[in-house]
Chains A and B, each alone.
Chain A
Amino acid sequence: MIALEGRVIKEGRAEGAALVSSEPIGFYGNVDPDTGIVTEKGHPLEGKSIAGRILVFPTGKGSTVGSYTMYRLKKKGKAPAGIIVRESEPIIAVGAIISGIPMVDQVDISKVPDGARVMIEGGRVIVED
């Protein structure tokens, strides 16, 4: 088990299997808002569902409407359980806050293997072996 420290963007507790992307994520137009499946062509997560996962990625990108897409995913029960990023930008941060998705930034995401069991507790990230 390893414990990582980050900075709280949206306070909360979350637990789930990590889904790790090496590339930035833009929600608007790239994630299906009704199914949670990544649709962006050539993206490392293309075809995968983010629903219920601890989504781990470097940073956000794309249109500011992405915040509303995250909100819609939450309402449909297809949002990630938690979000861990290296660097926050306003679209993902605002999306996490308005959707109530626990979020931590400034985390060394190279320490989180894809598929590992991860817990977010405030600014603490616990990765199980």
Chain B
Amino acid sequence: MMLTREEQAMLDGEHGPGVQKAMEIIVALARIYRAERLVPVASVQVAGVSYKNLGDAGIQFLEEWAEQGARVKVPTTLNPAGMDLDDWKEIGFSEEFAGKQLKVIRAFQRMGIMPTCTCTPYLAGNVPKYGDHIAWAESSAVSYANSVIGARTNREGGPSAIASAVTGRTAAFGYHLDENRISEHEVRVTAALDDYSDYGALGYWTGKRLKNMVPYFTGIRTATADQLKQLGASAAASGAIALYHVHGITPEARAKSMLAEDHETLEFGEEEKKSVRGELSGEVDLVVFGCPHASLEELKKIASMVSGRKLKAELWVTTSKPVKALAERAGLKKTIEEAGGRIVADACAVVAPVKSLGFKSIAVNSGKYLWYLTSQGYKVFFGDTEKCVQAAVTGRWEE
């Protein structure tokens, strides 16, 4: 493997122990995946932020790395935390959890990482360009950056993303290389895709079948950025899909053919769409939207649906801090709160200790929430946005 003089100096410890440790990680990954060289990265998204997942070992590690002089060289943003960093007390998180969570955030900030705390960095100022090499963790953001923007990243883990931020490099393998971005699996969509949840169902179904392949969707005539965000997030959760193409819609599939001549074809029809479901009936404690974090448009739609209604179940919309601030200015926060719901920034139901708040059964319109909350042992209902709002009003779900 070829290292530049500067990269070798980092590895030899000439830039201090924090940078050396980061370069050791990058070089080890390059070796494991037989990369011939490293490439400079334009931006980084770091995952592994919730204290629920990191624990005390994680805090200790991050503080030590910051102490050793690890500082980011490129724009770097953070994944969701385990709570709303401002309104945690009001929502019911404990002082102890909050104290630890804020310690985690401070360690990241010491490295120069922006405390965006969102899984949608591309809606909060971290926007790569087409063709940029980046090192992103957070599977849904990886999928969005690769597929919708046409930037290039593998699915990074927490420490490897930080290592890229500190060295400004990643190993050139996987989705950084042209040949690995071609699809050998066409997914022919014949089902109607109307609601956001339909895109979630398509992603969920595809991820389960194609695991870590590159799907090439045909038969989708239009899709908004929000719908593509849902499609990719769900496919990344039920499988490990990091890149997909939509014929005529996503940028690489517009510029040239990204489907190999020799490919297999799957069909997603109405039956397949119906096969993606949660529990059929029961009491609903919590309805949660915003997985990935809701955009302003999604918030607007949800606000118009709950406007003037009285909600029996709790309703959360999880989103990023900037979108929450804009929702407040636009009066959407007031509308949602008057109905009895709330906007939760910085966190989500997957990484926050939601069980400790007493919730057991949750209704969602996101395929990613369906996947993770089911695996965490909740009773999960899955349906379109209006059906979820209806469940919040009645406190019940009926298929």
Interface residue ranges, A against B (CB under 8 Å):
7, 9-10, 33, 64-65, 67-69, 71-72, 75, 88-91, 93-94, 97-98, 105
> Residue on B with the closest CB to A75?
B60
Interface residues as binary, B37-64 with A (CB distance below 8 Å gives 1, 0 otherwise): 0000000000110000111111011000
Interface residues on B, range: 20 to 34
Q: DSSP class of B's interface residues: helix, strand, loop or mixed?
A: helix
Smallest Cβ distance from B57 to chain A, in angstroms?
3
Interface pair B24/A97, CB less than 8 Å apart: yes
| Residue in A69, A72, A89, A105 whose Cβ sees the most chain B Cβ within 10 Å | A72
B32: A residues at CB distance < 8 A: 9, 88-90, 93, 105
Bound-state CA distance A93–B31 (Å) is 11
> In the complex, what distance in Å separates the CA atom of A33 from the CA atom of B157?
20
Q: What is the chain A residue whose CB lies nearest that of B33?
A: A90
A25 to B158, CA, bound (A): 19
Q: How far is the CB of B3 from chain A (nearest CB, A)?
A: 16
- Pick 6 A–B contacts, CB within 8 A, sort by A: A65-B48, A65-B53, A67-B157, A68-B158, A68-B159, A71-B57
Contact B28 A68 (CB under 8 A): no
Does B24 contact A67, Cβ atoms closer than 8 Å?
Answer: no
Among the listed B21, B31, B53, B55, which residue makes an inter-chain contact with A9, where contact means beta carbons less than 8 Å apart? B31
A64 contacts across to B, CB distance below 8 A: 47-48, 157-159
Q: Is B160 in contact with chain A by the CB < 8 A criterion?
A: yes
In the bound assembly, the distance between CA atoms of A69 and B58 in angstroms comes to 8
Q: How far is the CB of B44 from chain A (nearest CB, A)?
A: 15
Q: Are A91 and B157 in contact (CB under 8 A)?
A: yes
Q: How far apart are the CA atoms of A123 and B53 in the complex, in Å?
A: 33
Query: Would you call A71 and B60 a contact (CB within 8 A)?
Result: yes
State the Cβ distance, A123 to closest chain B Cβ, in Å.
Answer: 12
The answer to the question of B296 belonging to the interface, with a C-beta cut-off of 8 Å to chain A, is: no
- Measured CB to CB, the nearest residue on chain B to A105 is B32
- B258: Cβ under 8 A from any A Cβ: no
Taken together as a complex, chains A and B put the C-alpha atoms of A89 and B32 apart, in Å, by 7
Taking the closest CB of chain B, its distance from the CB of A13, in whole angstroms, is 17
Chain B, residue nearest A67 (CB): B159
Q: Are B55 and A90 in contact (CB under 8 A)?
A: no
A72 and B56 contact, CB distance less than 8 A: yes
Residue B25 at the A interface, CB < 8 A?
yes
Q: Report whether B160 and A68 are in contact in the complex, using a CB–CB cutoff of 8 Å.
A: no
Min CB–CB distance A77 → chain B (angstroms)? 13
With A90-B160, A98-B61 as known contacts, state yes or no: A68 contacts B55, CB within 8 Å. Answer: yes
List A contacts of B28 (CB < 8 A): 9-10, 88, 93-94, 97
Could you mark each residue 153-169 of chain B with 1 if its beta carbon is under 8 Å from any beta carbon of chain A, else 0? 00001111000000000
Cα–Cα, bound, A105→B33 (Å): 13
- B305 lies within 8 A of chain A by Cβ: no
